[in-house]
Amino acid sequence: MSRASSPALRTHIMVRVGSFIFSLFFLFQVASAQTFVQGKALADASLKEKAVWMEKLASDDSEEATRILQYWLDGILVYWPQENRLVRGIKEGRRYQLQDLMTEEALGAVSSREIDRVKTNNSLRSALKQVLGSRQLGSSDRNVRLSAIAELKRRPDYKVLPLLKKREASEQDDQVARQLSELIGLVLLESAEANEQMEGLRRISGGLSPEVKDSLSRFLLNPNLDPGVVEVAQRELDAITRSLMYWGIGQDLFFGLSLGSVLLLAAIGLAITFGVMGVINMAHGEFIMLGAYTTFVIQQWIPATSMWSLLISIPTAFVVSGTAGIILERLVIRHLYGRPLETLLATFGVSLILQQLVRTVFGPLNQSVVTPDLLSGALDINAAFSVTYNRLFVIAFALCVLVTLWGVMQRTPFGVRVRAVTMNRGMASSMGVQTQRVDALAFGLGSGIAGMGGVALSQLTNVGPNLGQSYIVDSFMVVVFGGVGNLFGTVFAALSLGVANKMLEPLSGAVLAKILILVFIILFIQKRPRGLFALKGRAAED
Amino acid sequence: MQTRSWKRTFKNTIFASAVGLSVSLAHAADTIKVGVLHSLSGTMAISETTLKDTVLMMVEQQNAKGGLLGKKLEAVVVDPASNWPLFAEKTRELLEKEKVDVIFGCWTSVSRKSVLPVIEELNGLMFYPVQYEGEESSKNVFYTGAAPNQQAIPAVNYLIDELGVERFVLAGTDYVYPRTTNKILENYLKNLGIGESDIMINYTPFGHSDWQTIVSDIKAFGSAGKKTAVVSTINGDANVPFYKELGNQGMSAEDIPVIAFSVGEEELSGFDTGPLVGHLAAWNYFMSAEAEVNDEFIEAWHSFTGDTARVTNDPMEATYIGFEMWAKAVEKAGTTEVDKVRPALYGTAVPNLTGGTAVMHTNHHLQKPVLIGEILEDGQFEIVSATPGEVIGDAWTDYLPDSAKIIADWTAPVNCGNYNIETQQCSGQNF
């Protein structure tokens, strides 16, 4: 076999070498005549040859070259053998829509076999971003300028210094100017002269971004530095490391809050069904899962990238999970009040049924729930501390759910009835409260809230048949720790467990952190079997 | 009342199993039975269901070609339900009750370890199609997935040679495969002169979903003046929130590339792959491989599943190779008897799906090409690097001092899965 393939290999190499020489020839053409790049050679080139192409294109500052580089980076630059030229090819389903490079005039759709995509890899992609970055510095859109600067910061290059200085002189926007100054500082660190290095250090002083720390650490590895410069650089690095540590603690706190709010969303429904009604509902996790799947189904109807898909999912998930909860209560749990062990077994069975049902309907694979554009990305407070929008959304959402639920329980007739039934069923019944109805509705409320939690969780984790299982233990943990029957306890427990977990994690690793938390709860329950905030009085007696 | 119904159930069971037994006896004469031991429910169903379908497709294709040795093939599918001890029970059921001639099965290492004692006791034959940590060679198991030297080591080499990486984060799920692989990689990197302080090892539980701290730790670790990469042995499910968090915290593949050993086309089909473009994976097969045999395989898969959106992946290729090899060896041996088929397998060569040839070696491992792919916008991989030839799977890694002196060779004179070349003897256990 190997003998058979070697002539083929040799031809292959010859073709490669040939096309390389060919491409060099045409590169020369490009540089002089500003004609089209030879698309075929570019598409066939090896990654190393492509780097040469890119260098050449970079030296050509025509609009055409810029477009070629940009489309190349975006992965939509294709070679079209039929017309022997480069075009823009946008994938639609299994076919490519072709467009002219410059005029963007549509050229029809072809299959993937009729064209050659000009491929990239990581190193090419970052080089492309660098080249385009230096071109976009002069853009009239400040956001484009900012992202160009961010791109150039990744690999400071001394060669672009004159260009940067020129830009700095004409920059009007404060924020852009600040970023530009930091970039110039980073570039100056690449210089061999001590006074330029000092100037660079002065400019980056106080910067907290990973690029600054990265460049500074690299700078200090250089053995030919002036001792004075080393001293300043070291001082600067120490200062950065120190303030990064403080910000790191802040970041851990935020992470903890966000984990806490996830726990809260998962557990708050259980705080009603288990905490208030005393039903051990092992299918609680599956109600969360139903909510997450509702989001998935809604996203099939409404454009997934729009925020509306999520906003509509929230009430829908409440209704879906709530209805499922009421059905479960009416068919199963109603017959088992006062028999916790049987309830546990029955609801565990229901949870398995629901899982398998979802597996049959949607398949065993995870479904992809898209994060709306509004919730993608992060809010940068400074270079060292950023909060991601989806986490922020979950925290805000948890807060809303909490306030609404508290309002319902404390301020509405329904809430009063629920509390009355839990405190003394017989008395409430003789006062004319329809206890059975209240039971069903309260259980529906708890399940519905679990469904809304599922919508939020679909933004953070996998939507699959096993989604619920991974939250059921955590949910019970939170409710038990916070004290059964106490909403406020649940909130406090969720947040404190979240923060404790995230504070431990950097020290002990994720696995050990989780174990430590569980051990703590076991010990705590020994000491206070009724949780942090135990109900006092008559309600606590049964 | 209760006892009566219990008795009735008992009677029914006896009756049913008697019928089942007689049916299978009747069949035993004229069919060759192929056992399929993949989880169809539970956590691993997500990955393993596909492999069950692959075996069924291969059986169907073989039957269309006229079966084997003049007999039709019959697939016997059982569901071990992602429950590790149940894997052992189901293996026993397949071998003792169903009397299957070969088993295709398992995904996780822990399920394979649970099957081993049974399959060795009953002298069965199993093909294991998933990349794994090595350090094992059983007489009764053929490993068609990648050993560490066919995936992990070449991947790290790519990072060092092509991307100039000097600092490594080894992130994994906390179980046997990542732990062993990371131990091997850590030793390998240290041998290359990479310092202790440039290696960060991190483990997370199964299905971990809150990656905020870890991603921000990786970001901090990566800003120390050296090019940093993440080598990920994070398993299945947990990858989605991990990659989501990478995207949200703005960590792009150009800053800190992540190379994954457990993320393939199938896993990506549940992803929004936009933010992942440029991250890497190392496998022996990618669906995007350009080979005629691959196109045929994909087409057959689409028409078998009736869904043109279904993707193919590396463990499917391994299943395909295993099945083709077994069929070839059975023809060569003229029987399905394990003791005859096993020696017939050594040296058996079948085309792999990337245009090369897979050969079974006497250590029960394959030779395979190693490919590095970058994730594309559409969830496929762009192959950016391929080893020039095929790499022979090494059951016992050379990068752990204790394993370096152990070899596996199931032919005479060694005839053992863990032969110590220093003491010149087998360690006694069967694997």
Locate B1 and state its tokens. Answer: 């009342």
Which of A121, A251, A510 is facing B374, going by the closest CB pair?
A121
Q: Which single residue is written with the structure tokens 């002539």? A: A7
What does the pLDDT read at residue A12? 54
- pLDDT for residue B23 is more than 50: no
B428, pLDDT greater than 60: no
| B174 vs A1, A259, A511: nearest CB | A511
| Distance from C-alpha of A262 to C-alpha of A343, rounded to nearest angstrom | 26
Residue positions counted in chain A: 542
Measured at the alpha carbon of residue A232, what is the angle toward residues A228 and A233, in degrees to the nearest 5? 110
Place of tokens 């933010």: B275
Mutate to test the interface with B, among A77, A91, A253, A368 (most CBs of B within 10 A): A368
Distance CA B312, CA B288 (A): 9
Find, in chain B, the residue whose alpha carbon is nearest to that of A462: B240
Decide if pLDDT at A264 tops 80: yes
Helix axes A227-270, A210-221, angle to 10 degrees: 150
What confidence score (pLDDT) does residue B162 get?
A: 85
Q: Could you report how far apart the first and last alpha carbons of chain A are, in Å?
A: 80
- B-facing residues of A in 380-409 (CB < 8 A) are 386, 388-391
Residue B42 is assigned to a structural domain of this protein:
no
In a domain, B23, yes or no: no
Q: Is residue B254 part of a domain?
A: yes
Q: CA nearest B228 in A: which residue?
A: A214
**Residue of B212, B352, B385 to mutate, testing the A interface (most A Cβ within 10 Å of its Cβ):** B212
Exposure pattern of A254-291 as b/e (b: 16+ CB <10 Å)? bbbbbbbbbbbbbbbbbbbbbbbbebbbbbbbbbbbbb
Query: What is this structure's pTM?
Result: 0.79
The pLDDT value recorded for residue A17 is 52
Best residue in B223, B252, B359, B367 for a mutation probing chain A (most A CBs within 10 Å): B223
User: Would the CB atoms of B214 and A368 count as touching at under 8 Å?
Assistant: no
- Residues of A (143-172) whose Cβ lies below 8 Å from B: 154
Distance CA B241, CA A442 (A): 33
B165-188 residue pLDDT tens: 999 999 999 888 899 999 999 999
CB pairs under 8 A between A and B: 149
CB contact, 8 Å: A27 with chain B? no
- Residues 74-133 of chain B with CB under 8 A from chain A are none
A241 touching B, CB under 8 A? no
CA distance B228 to chain A (A): 11
Q: Is residue B183 part of a domain?
A: yes
Name the residue of chain A whose CA is nearest to B377's CA.
Answer: A75
Pairwise CB contact (< 8 Å): A219 & B204: no
Identity of the amino acid at A97:
Q
All residues of chain B having their beta carbon less than 8 Å from the beta carbon of residue A214 are: 222-225
Chain B residues whose CB is inside 8 A of the A255 CB are 210, 212-213, 216
Give the minimum alpha-carbon distance from B15 to chain A in angstroms, rounded to a whole number. 28
Cα dihedral value A186, A192, A193, A199, nearest 10: 0
Contacts of B272 in chain A (CB under 8 A): 368, 370-371
Q: How confident is the model at residue A212 (pLDDT cuts 50, 70, 90)?
A: confident
B108-133 residue pLDDT tens: 888 999 999 999 999 999 999 999 99
Specify whether the CB–CB gap between A170 and A196 falls below 8 A.
Answer: no
Chain A nearest-CA residue for B39 = A364
- Closest residue in chain A to residue B210, using alpha carbons only: A259
Distance from CA of A431 to the nearest CA of B (A): 42
* Residue B378 in contact with partner chain A when CB distance is under 8 A: yes
Say what the pLDDT of residue A1 is. Answer: 37
Q: Which of B46, B378, B382 sits opposite A119 (nearest CB)?
A: B382
Q: Stretch A212-231: mean pLDDT, rounded? A: 84
- Residues from chain B contacting residue A462 (CB–CB below 8 Å): 207, 209, 237, 240-241, 270
Give the pLDDT band (50/70/90) at residue B414.
confident
Please enumerate in sequence order all residues whose Cβ is within 8 A of that of B174, keeping only pairs 6 or more positions apart, or say none.
A511, B203, B204, B205, B206
Q: How far from each other are the two terminal CA atoms of chain B, in whole angstroms?
A: 52
The answer as to whether B253 is a domain residue is: yes
Distance from CA of A428 to the nearest CA of B (A): 39
Helices (H) and strands (E) in chain A, counts: 21, 7
Per-residue confidence band for A34, with pLDDT thresholds at 50, 70 and 90: very low
- Cβ of A470 within 8 Å of Cβ of B222? The answer is no
List, as one string, the DSSP characters of A345-379.
HHHHHHHHHHHHHHHHHH-SSPB-PPPPGGGSSEE
pLDDT attached to residue A535? 64
List chain A residues with CB under 8 Å of B212.
Answer: 255, 258-259, 388, 391, 502
Q: What is the pLDDT of residues B55-67, one digit of tens each?
A: 999 999 999 999 9
Q: What is the pLDDT of residue B16?
A: 45
- Tell me which of A122, A153, A357 to substitute to probe the interface with B (most B C-beta atoms closer than 10 Å): A122
Helix, coil or strand: residue A445 = helix
- Domain containing B259 equals 149-283
Whole-Å CA distances, B57 to A26, A102, A533: 50, 48, 59
* Cα A283 from Cα A287, distance rounded (Å): 7
Per-residue pLDDT band at A536 (split at 50, 70, 90): low
Of A255, A389, A466, the CB nearest to B213: A255
Asked if residue A290 lies in contact with residue A318, where contact means CB atoms within 8 angstroms, the answer is no
pLDDT band at B143 (very low <50, low <70, confident <90, very high): very high
Q: Is the dihedral of CA A369, A374, A380, A385 positive or negative?
A: negative
User: Which of B41, B46, B280 is closest, CB to CB, to A366?
Assistant: B46
Any idea what the CATH number is for the domain that residue B178 is in?
3.40.50.2300
Contact A214 B224 (CB under 8 A): yes
Q: How many domains does the structure of chain B reveal?
A: 1
Q: Residue B299's pLDDT is what?
A: 93
The average confidence (pLDDT) of chain B is 87
**What does the pLDDT look like over B218-264, one tens digit per residue?**
988 988 878 899 999 988 778 878 888 888 888 888 889 999 998 88
Confidence of residue A349 (pLDDT cuts 50, 70, 90): very high
Strand-pair category, B126-128 with B141-143: parallel
Residue A177 to residue A180: CA distance in whole angstroms: 5
User: In terms of CA atoms, which chain B residue is nearest residue A130?
Assistant: B254
Mutation for testing the A interface, residue in B213, B273, B277 having most A CBs under 10 Å: B213
A218 touching chain B per CB within 8 A: yes
Instruction: Tell if the CB–CB gap between A365 and B269 is shorter than 8 Å.
Output: yes
Average pLDDT across chain A, whole number: 83
Q: Does the beta-carbon distance from A251 to B216 stay under 8 Å?
A: yes
Q: What percent of chain B has pLDDT over 90?
A: 57
- Assigned domain for B45 exists: no
Q: How far is A184 from chain B (nearest CA, A)?
A: 18
How sure is the predictor about A329, in pLDDT bands with cuts at 50, 70 and 90?
Answer: very high
Q: Are residues A365 and B270, on separate chains, in Cβ contact within 8 Å?
A: yes
